[in-house]
Amino acid sequence: MNQRSLGLIGVGTMGGALALNIAEKGFSLGLYNLDADSVDSLLSSAGGLEKHLWKADSVETLVTKLQPPRAVFLMVPAGEPVDATIAELKKHLAPGDTIIDGGNSDFRQTQERSAQLQKSGLFYLGIGVSGGEHGARHGPSMMVGGESEVWESLRPMLEAVSAKFQGQPCVAHLGTDGAGHFVKTVHNGIEYADMQMIAEIYGLMRDGKGASAQEIATLFSRWNEGDLQSYLVDITAKALTTIDPETELPLVDVILDKAGQKGTGRWTIIEAIRMGQSASVIEAAVGARAVSSKRNIRLAAASILNDKIRPQFEVSENDLESALRVGRILGYAQGFRILAAGSEEFGWDLDFAKIADIWREGCIIRSALLNDISQAFRGELPEGRLILSPRIYPKIKKHMPGLRRVVAGAISAGIPVPALSSAVSWYDEVRLGRGTTNLIQAQRDFFGAHGFQRLDKPGNHHGEWHLGQSSAV
């Protein structure tokens, strides 16, 4: 890739930040945006970096001024805007050129786009970019999917702009077509779970113990100095200490309790179901956001269904810390099982240790735990299960009693903890040598003659249920 072969379309918050990052690393970059004023504004604020940036007044001009082989970043909203931009680019690009989708696209659409563009001799990279505006500007974690030769040609630039963990770039080529966007989707699912469990701990402190925002911030700040160290715990502590200048109250106390979502959490659940995997912790987090959006219903229910006397919530801060620690582990574990299922279905051969490595800096779910996860995937891993790793299961066993006490106390006090309670249930399901689905199989055979397998002999069997006895035939 030469110095005049790179363009970027979509100079919004993320696109503009990434453009400055690329320019700061010494790469020339052409810019185009439907709203030309956005490019002008970026150039005027670029300072000394402006010499590496130039403006195009159309997609055609952008492509014409780039030297082949060209690579054009798309930093536009997922869905139809991506398809519309690709359609316009195809009119002007030549075989051997590359389109890079750096947005939160559905990986299945990335697969389709990659296959279609290959017919025109064009390459397509789907890159999951995590880290928000700050990450895009100063170093994001990037998950790359696409042809390996294109990755190699762009690798110097992508490694230069990526976050660094102990000097190592937090970017990697993970597989063909949609692999990068798939990993980013699951990353966001884990992010949903982590944020929800943190919010549940906050709720237990606020509503169960009557703690102030400042007191809760102090707790999170202390936790961030230990094994719970993470970006999300860190910003939680900082958010809780921020004061609203209008009311002089903690800003978090004047924010409406309706959480938004852009869809990637739902995608994670959908893919988990498609692949026959449990994502109960992530699903609980997505469901909690959905419930939060129905505020009118919640207010009505609060006046009708609330008990007059709420039992006291009496759980120690140590147990709360244990609950978050083991809940986080189990959330990650579910996420990596979805990654494993996707890797097998699409033949990506995902390197889970490498994924953990590139998540250690730049991305939203970066945490100290990822060091252990990275090492776990490089060591003994019975049945391929993270929770059975000798580096992981001792932590689960140590902190699970605390999680149980927290969930039990929360349920007794009527304080919702959907993600934490889902973590307990999933853990107990996984470690149950003999479960209860034998009864479900009996029910299915009873009403639908679906058959069942026996413990004592091979083959598919049926029961003579309507005779009141189970003589197998």
Question: Which active-site residues does the annotation give?
Answer: 184, 191
* Nearest CA-CA partner of 426 in 329, 319, 325: 329
Structure-token match 């035939």, residue found: 473
* Nearest CA-CA partner of 346 in 127, 179, 154: 179
Secondary structure tally for the chain: helices H, strands E: 19, 10
Q: Are 135 and 105 in contact (CB under 8 A)?
A: no
The CA-atom distances, in angstroms, between 461 and each of 444, 471, 472, 473 are: 12, 10, 6, 6
* Nearest CA-CA partner of 205 in 222, 217, 196: 217
Q: Which residues pair with 31 in a beta bridge?
A: 8, 55
Crossing angle of helices 213-223/317-346, nearest 10°? Answer: 60
Q: What angle do CA 169, 170, 172 make, to 5 degrees?
A: 95
Length of the chain measured in residues:
473
Mapping DSSP to helix (H, G, I), strand (E, B) and coil, where does residue 216 land? helix
Tell me the backbone φ, ψ of residue 367, rounded to 5 degrees. Answer: -160, 165
Q: Are 431 and 425 in contact (CB under 8 A)?
A: no
> Encoding tokens for residue 294?
């129905």
> Encoding tokens for residue 135?
């990450």
Q: Are 100 and 66 in contact (CB under 8 A)?
A: no
The CA distance from 473 to 461, in Å, is 6
> Encoding tokens for residue 152?
């190699």
Strands, E assignment, 208-253: none
Kindly give the pairing relationship between strand 141-145 and strand 123-130. Answer: antiparallel
* Nearest CA-CA partner of 160 in 274, 310, 29, 269: 29
> Encoding tokens for residue 81?
């805007």
> Encoding tokens for residue 97?
């050129």
